[in-house]
């Protein structure tokens, strides 16, 4: 089974919840874990990863290069570049590789053939390790200014599937990125269940509704976890949304000031502070995940 944990909004504690659930389920189930936030991966920090066993580059982005020996300095490429990635520097037109999208407009409008080329460059890196808790973790890091974040996530999941087949692992848990962009779509596509994490605020409700539309597009079942459930006791929007859409609530987690300390300790919260009220709530949610999803 593939389980995706998503939130729509950043900062609601999705990765903290994910790390704790993985930690609580690791002894009963064979798991492979995917950090699908290629822009800002952080699950390896919460799981105390210190080194990567294997890395693979993804070559897929394209960047324009101007051959200065052939360039006649007409400036047409500068005028037509839709991303304003071509600048005049010391009398020469040069490409800013960080903002170039490799669209090819400059090459198309250049009056001198073979002056501008589109060269393939690295989009990012995918990496694997075995955590100190015994399960494999796949993560990715998108290079600055590069596209293909969704493709990186797809490659991550493909690698995770191969590990599942080779080792006979039953379940994949995917920690999705925030928002509803390419990474999130790649995370949710082809999964079995989506667990939504939200906090009781209007902003979180708005964003979880948006990501739920993506879940509906793929016709996948969804569950809800309410994190920091006591920070806004008068707000009932999440409960009304869940009831209206028929989304089961797996549990509620109270706000806990100790969460940042567990991050600095490089440990899942339930490992760092097992006696806290939030940890007890996470244990109940892990039991609900077993009963409702993994049964």
Does one domain contain both 223 and 269? Answer: yes
Last residue of a domain, one of 122, 151, 174: 122
Which residues touch 127 (CB under 8 Å, ≥6 apart)? 52, 54, 55, 56, 138, 139, 140, 141
Query: Can you give the pLDDT at residue 49?
Result: 95
CB-based contact 123:143 (threshold 8 Å): yes
Instruction: Tell me which residue of 32, 36, 23, 10 sits closest to 285, measured CA to CA.
Output: 23
Does one domain contain both 176 and 210? Answer: yes
Residue whose tokens read 């948006």: 210
Does one domain contain both 96 and 33? Answer: no
Residue range(s) defining the domain that contains residue 15: 2-49+131-292
Does one domain contain both 75 and 142? Answer: no
> 54 in a domain, yes or no?
no
The residues of the chain scoring below 50 in pLDDT are none
Cα 261 to Cα 43, 258, 265, 268, 273, distances in angstroms: 15, 5, 6, 10, 9
> 22 in a domain, yes or no?
yes
Q: Could you give the number of structural domains in the chain?
A: 2
Does one domain contain both 23 and 104? Answer: no
Nearest 5°: the CA angle 202, 190, 245 is 35
Does one domain contain both 205 and 172? Answer: yes
Last residue of a domain, one of 76, 99, 122: 122
Does one domain contain both 38 and 98? Answer: no
Does one domain contain both 254 and 149? Answer: yes
Q: Give pTM, 2 decimals.
A: 0.90
Does one domain contain both 183 and 204? Answer: yes
Query: Can you give the pLDDT at residue 89?
Result: 95
Q: Reduce the DSSP state of residue 153 to 3 states and report it.
A: helix
Query: Can you give the pLDDT at residue 280?
Result: 98
Expressed in angstroms, the distance from the first to the final Cα of the chain is: 11
Query: Can you give the pLDDT at residue 292?
Result: 94
Query: Can you give the pLDDT at residue 147?
Result: 76
Last residue of a domain, one of 78, 101, 122: 122
Does one domain contain both 213 and 97? Answer: no
Does one domain contain both 77 and 141? Answer: no
Does one domain contain both 188 and 149? Answer: yes
Render pLDDT for 12-25 as a digit per residue (tens, 0 to 9): 999 999 999 999 99
Query: Can you give the pLDDT at residue 183?
Result: 94
């Amino acid at each position: 089974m593939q389980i995706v944990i998503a939130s729509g909004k950043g900062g609601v504690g999705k990765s903290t919840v994910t790390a704790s659930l993985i930690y609580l389920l690791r002894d009963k189930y064979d798991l492979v874990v995917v950090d699908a936030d290629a822009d800002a991966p952080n699950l390896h920090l919460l799981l105390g990863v210190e080194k990567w066993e294997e890395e693979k580059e993804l070559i897929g982005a394209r960047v324009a290069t101007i051959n200065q020996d052939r360039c006649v300095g007409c400036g047409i490429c500068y005028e037509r570049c839709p991303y304003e990635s071509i600048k005049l520097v010391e009398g020469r037109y040069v490409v800013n590789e960080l903002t170039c999208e490799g669209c090819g407009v400059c090459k198309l409008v250049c009056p001198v053939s073979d002056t501008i080329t589109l060269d393939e460059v690295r989009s990012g890196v995918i990496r694997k390790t075995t955590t100190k808790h015994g399960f494999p973790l796949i993560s990715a890091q998108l290079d600055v200014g590069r596209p293909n974040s969704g493709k990186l996530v797809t490659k991550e999941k493909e690698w995770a599937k191969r590990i599942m087949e080779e080792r006979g692992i039953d379940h994949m848990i995917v920690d999705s990125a925030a928002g509803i962009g390419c990474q999130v779509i790649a995370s949710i596509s082809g999964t079995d269940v989506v667990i939504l994490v939200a906090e009781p605020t209007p902003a979180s409700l708005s964003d979880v509704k948006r990501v739920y539309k993506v879940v509906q597009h793929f016709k996948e079942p969804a569950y809800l976890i309410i994190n920091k459930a006591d920070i806004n006791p008068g707000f009932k929007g999440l409960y009304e949304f869940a009831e209206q859409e028929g989304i089961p609530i797996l549990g509620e987690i109270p706000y806990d000031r100790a969460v940042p300390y567990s991050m600095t300790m490089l440990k899942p919260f339930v490992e760092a502070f097992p006696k806290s009220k939030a940890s007890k709530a996470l244990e109940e949610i892990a039991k609900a995940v077993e009963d409702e999803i993994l049964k």
